[in-house]
Amino acid sequence: MRTYVRMIVTALIPLFPLRIAVIEARVAWDDPIALGPAPGDAQVIGACTTAAWDQGVRPGLRVGEALARCPGLDLVTPHPDAVRVAVDRVTERLEGLGAAVQPHGDGMWSFMADGLMRLHDGLPALMRRVRAALPVGCDGRVGAAPTPFASCEAARGGVVVHDDEVAAFLAPLPSSRLPLGARSQSLLQSLGLRTIGQVAALPHSAVLDRLGRDGELAWLMARGEDDARLSPRTPPEPMEESMDFPESVGALPALEAAMRMLIARICDRTTARGRSVRALVLRARTWDGGSWTSAVALREATADPTRIALACIPRLDRIGAPVTRLAIEADAGGPAGAGQMSLVARPDDERRRRASAALEQVRASEGDAQVLRLVEIEPWSRLPERRWALGPYEA
């Protein structure tokens, strides 16, 4: 009988956000390309292709300096919305293999392989299936090791690291790979600790004294003794509503009115299913071809549009450019009746309930366009048709 040891498989797609932005911009990957700043962010560049790297471009450079080093550099707009969709797509493919997947972020996924090795006739066969699940032509890599940190590092080289090889495998790697903050990393460099092996050789008491709890966790990772447990995601029950604007909209009141309408639609669909909302993702497409996204985790599942609006509306002022499309995606996997904690109704609850019922009757008989309100879009304009617009009315 074949015996299987504990193993964690990690899949990696290098430069994942840059690859998605290049696909969206429809430019050639072989050209000197770098990820430009998002609207409203600092004017520094992100990841870059090999052709740009060879000409002296580095992540973190100011845009002007990067263009001076490489006059032919093409800056592509970040697409966090498209990245999120691509991450979910790859996660679903890996879950189709039977894996409980933990997405680490932009372009990295891990899962426990113990039971799957039996299902797929060994680790090599399982890794081949994982590699086949990654997008074609993306330089996807798959590695495996007994601990999460070692597995992520093994994925960078596409190798398998066994239990008795972890310490030797990690020792020569640069200490900058350890998940430490800038201050702790600067301290390691000032102490001359350039490799993970040098960090692993430190006394436990010294690490805890100088680097604190986070340093202790990094020290355990360097020794191959970090916790092997993962936090796989719970597959969501997605539900999406969106709104396209004939002209780009930059006024915050107009975006708020559109978002309230989308929230109302999501809550109606969620209630009709007998479910509640656990988390949301707000998305926007901007006029310059870029995108904006913001994840909202609710403290408790609910289907109350007022409570969801309180969590979502304040985030709209972070959009740094006029919007052509606004969307909201909800994870409607919460239980029915969640969030109903009030025992005594407020004095205006009955009045609001009756007004909402009256509005619903008017909309049902006459259509949504019969109940609207004025929303100020461009307060500085002297033209009424540009200053004001009709938006949805709520009780």
pLDDT of 196 over the 90 cut: yes
pLDDT of 270 over the 80 cut: yes
Q: Which residue has the higher pLDDT, 386 or 193?
A: 193
Same domain, 13 and 149: yes
Of 137, 167, 197, which one is at a domain's C-terminal end? 167
Mean pLDDT of 313-332: 88
**Confidence at 61, pLDDT banded by 50, 70, 90:** very high
Q: Which residue has the higher pLDDT, 369 or 322?
A: 322
Identify the pLDDT of residue 175.
92
Same domain, 111 and 15: yes
Segment of 56-60, 298-302, 320-324 carrying the highest mean pLDDT:
56-60
**Confidence at 393, pLDDT banded by 50, 70, 90:** low
pTM for this prediction: 0.67
Same domain, 354 and 378: yes
CATH code where residue 136 lies: 3.30.70.270
Identify the pLDDT of residue 6.
81
Containing structural domain, residue 59: 1-167
pLDDT of 340 over the 60 cut: no
Identify the pLDDT of residue 337.
61
End-to-end CA separation in angstroms for the chain: 68
**Confidence at 3, pLDDT banded by 50, 70, 90:** very low
pLDDT of 219 over the 60 cut: yes
What share of the chain has pLDDT > 70, as a percent? 89
CATH code where residue 206 lies: 1.10.150.20
Mean pLDDT of 298-311: 86
Same domain, 152 and 204: no
Question: What is the DSSP annotation of 136-202?
Answer: TTS--EEEEESSHHHHHHHHHHT-B--GGGHHHHHTTSBGGGS---HHHHHHHHHTT--BHHHHHTS
Identify the pLDDT of residue 134.
93
Query: Three-state SS for 102?
Result: strand
**Confidence at 380, pLDDT banded by 50, 70, 90:** low
Cβ(97)–Cβ(129) under 8 Å?
A: yes
Mean pLDDT of 195-215: 89
